[in-house]
Amino acid sequence: MCGIVGYTGESRAQEVLIEGLSRLEYRGYDSAGVAIREDDGIHVVCRKGKVAELAHTLGHFSLTGTCGIGHTRWATHGKPSEVNAHPHTSCDGNIAIVHNGIIENFAELRDELALRGHVFSSETDSEVVAHLVEDNYHGDLVEAVRLSTEALVGSYGIAVVCAQEPDVIVATRKDSPIVVGYSAGDAGSAAMRGSFVASDIIAMLDATRDVVVLADGQIAKLTPNGIEYFDEQGRPCEVTHTHIDWDLDLAEKGGYPDFMMKEIHEQPRVIRDTLAGRMVGGRLEIDEFDLSPEELDLTDRVYVIACGTSYHAGLIAKNLIEAWARIPCEVEVASEFRYRNPIITPTTVVVAVSQSGETADTLAAIRDARVKGAKVFGITNVLGSPVARESDGVIYTKANKEIAVASTKSFIGQVVSLTLLAMLFAQAKGKLTTAQVRLLFRELADTADQVERILSDTDDIREAALACKDAKSALFIGRGIGSAVSYEGALKLKEISYLHAEAYAAGEMKHGPIALIDEGFPVIAIATKSPTYDKVVSNLQESRARGATIIAIATEGDEDIKNYADHVIYIPKVRDAFSAITATVPLQLLARFVALERGCDVDQPRNLAKSVTVE
């Protein structure tokens, strides 16, 4: 949620900030703004809407300052507007801040500051930070920021500039990512010289590949000549530098019409990369999962905690963990997990799944589980993210940067990672033999080629999308793993096409949902060859008899399904355990095609942001 970028160096800050904000726009696009230090003080320019609106407005200014901060917002406190857009300034205009996260005690702080004469101009929680820094500033911006954060309750990633310290940016964080880096701008290099701060590494990849992910409470002081680091007490401290080897074109569309389509097509690569090096000497190995075989064998309960798309990946994992390893597995919506006092013992393993690694509800659940004695392992896509740091071990999905707000390749990476985890538990408990694990691993690897086959011909999916474009609602159904796939398919359709959709286990049709069906109502069914195939076909017959338009995801070679469906989308034959990978891909494409037919922005759907860092 929300994107932060800052630069101090020798180049015009305006261009650097706009370029960085454009790359961070997936994190929020309700409004955008910059604060740039000029000779006569700090100039703030904000606009409601996307970064392009801000860039157009800045074209009418002649800001030449080389130090500034910028922000692209996803609204939490206060509606999207120029008044509520960041950066926010202090009363005297000498302090400007950008903030990602949520200040839980902002109302109390606002009242206290108002009694001391501070006047507020926005509805946001973030504005109190600017006023706090103003109150605490006595010639040292680092100390002012440090003292101010002592009063904050909640999560924050903050970058601050001050008129009295013209080339300085101070940044800090708690539970919200902040990354800093320095570029020497060596001769022959396209990189500009100076220091950079951002909420995501992608904003500074042009300039440097060596970055520092700030830990909670750490403070960075950026100047054109380098970066100094301080701990929570304001003492100089050592930090760990991380080298990033992503190619910059991972953040570009690479010839595809939108990021969503590009990322859907990257899924075969994600599968292969996630599996690389996992089969060693004929045995499955996940070194990051820091439990001995004996400890794995003692595990008697698994919780998967997640939100949204990641939750659906967890539902798939439940089927596999219980079927292969015979361990009870519960999948919990992270926002509910810590409120129901779940049963946790030292032999409980909690698996936290989060694309961004900064989902607030998931982080809160991790902390609760660790306090209660569980081993916690993260599955995330973001190096050095809070979920990664606060877990006992972490498996990074090999999706690399995902720009489109609706998750596609990250979901596939999560499913593959969780499938490996289920196999690892089964191997440790002796429920699967070495030969069985090898066979499953080979078949899992084959899904990369099978997804490529699906992507090579999408005409049937496009045709099916036409049956949905004018609908008012849609129903997704499936059984077993197919029901979990249905939930994800319905979510994708809702997220990017704004077409209302619901998903049910197909056996629930007669318990209420069938009342929705009338003439032309789209019913999308996961009808692959599985132990429950005949029962799904029976549900299709019930739906068609009531006038539904049936779209079936079916196994290649199944000619009988044409008797029950108006549109058939074939996928390669796979083991039922791996059908979630292949069946999900056409549903992603279906959602995208429907959204385009309805004139929607598939990369940046309304009201959504890529990561949710507030509860």
Q: For position 146, what pLDDT does the model report?
A: 97
**Residues 282, 425 share a domain:** yes
Q: Name which residue leads in pLDDT, 122 or 1.
A: 122
**Domain termination site, one of 455, 490, 523:** 455
Asked whether the beta carbons of 128 and 58 are under 8 A apart, the reply is no
pLDDT of residue 414: 96
Asked if the structure places residue 609 within a domain, the reply is no
CB 309 within 8 A of CB 488: yes
Q: Tell me: do 383 and 282 sit in the same domain.
A: yes
Q: Rounded mean pLDDT of 381-398?
A: 83
Expressed as residue numbers, the domain containing 379 is 259-455
251 in any annotated domain: no
Task: Clarify whether residues 426 and 521 are in a common domain.
Answer: no
CA–CA gap between residue 343 and residue 357 (Å, rounded) = 24
510 vs 55, residue with greater confidence: 55
CATH number at residue 25: 3.60.20.10
**Both tokens of residue 400?**
């690399």
pLDDT one-digit tens code per residue, 425-464: 999 999 999 999 999 999 999 999 999 999 999 999 999 9
Whole-number pLDDT of residue 579: 96
pLDDT for residue 590 is more than 90:
yes
- Do 442 and 429 have their domain in common? yes
Q: In the prediction, which pLDDT does 75 show? A: 63
DSSP string for residues in 580-596: HHHHHHHHHHHHHHHHH
Decide which of 435, 455, 475 is a domain's last residue: 455
What average pLDDT does range 206-231 have in this prediction? 94
More confident of the two residues 292 and 183: 183
Instruction: Classify residue 606: in a domain, yes or no.
Output: no
pLDDT at 189 over 60: no
Is 201 within a domain? yes
Cα 5 from chain centroid (whole Å): 18
| Residue 614 covered by a domain | no
- Structural contact between residues 350 and 448, judged by C-beta atoms closer than 8 angstroms: no
On whether the CB atoms of residues 5 and 198 are closer than 8 A, the answer is yes
Q: What confidence score (pLDDT) does residue 614 get? A: 47
* Percent over 70 (pLDDT), the chain: 95
Model pTM? 0.74
Q: Which range, 75-79, 143-147, 355-359, is most confident? A: 143-147
Statement to judge: residues 489 and 408 lie in one domain? no
433 lies in the same domain as 464: no
Q: How long a stretch of residues is the chain?
A: 615
Together in a domain, 505 and 531:
yes
Q: Residue 26: is its pLDDT beyond 70?
A: no
pLDDT at 31: 87
Is 167 within the bounds of a domain? yes
Residue 324 has pLDDT above 50, yes or no: yes
Q: Output the pLDDT for position 276.
A: 83
Residue 585 sits in a domain of what CATH number? 3.40.50.10490
**Residue 53 CB partners (closer than 8 Å, separation 6+):** 32, 47
* Domain end marker among 439, 455, 471: 455
Residue 561 in this model has a pLDDT that exceeds 60: yes
> For residue 347, what pLDDT is reported?
92
For residues 162 and 177, give the distance between their C-alpha atoms in angstroms, rounded to a whole number.
Answer: 22
Q: What is the predicted pLDDT for the residue at 188?
A: 46
Residues 332 and 382 in one domain: yes
The residues annotated with a catalytic role in the active site are 2, 610
Residues 205, 114, single domain; the answer is: yes
Q: Which residue has the higher pLDDT, 115 or 365?
A: 115
Given this model, what pLDDT does residue 264 score? Answer: 97
pLDDT recorded at residue 606: 86
In a domain, 361, yes or no: yes
185 & 293 share domain: no
- Top pLDDT among 405 and 287 is at 405
What kind and span of H or E run contains 550? strand 549-555
Task: Count how many domains the chain has.
Answer: 3
Q: Percentage of the chain with pLDDT > 90?
A: 62
340 and 238: one domain? no
User: Do 215 and 351 belong together in one domain?
Assistant: no
Is 559 inside any structural domain? yes
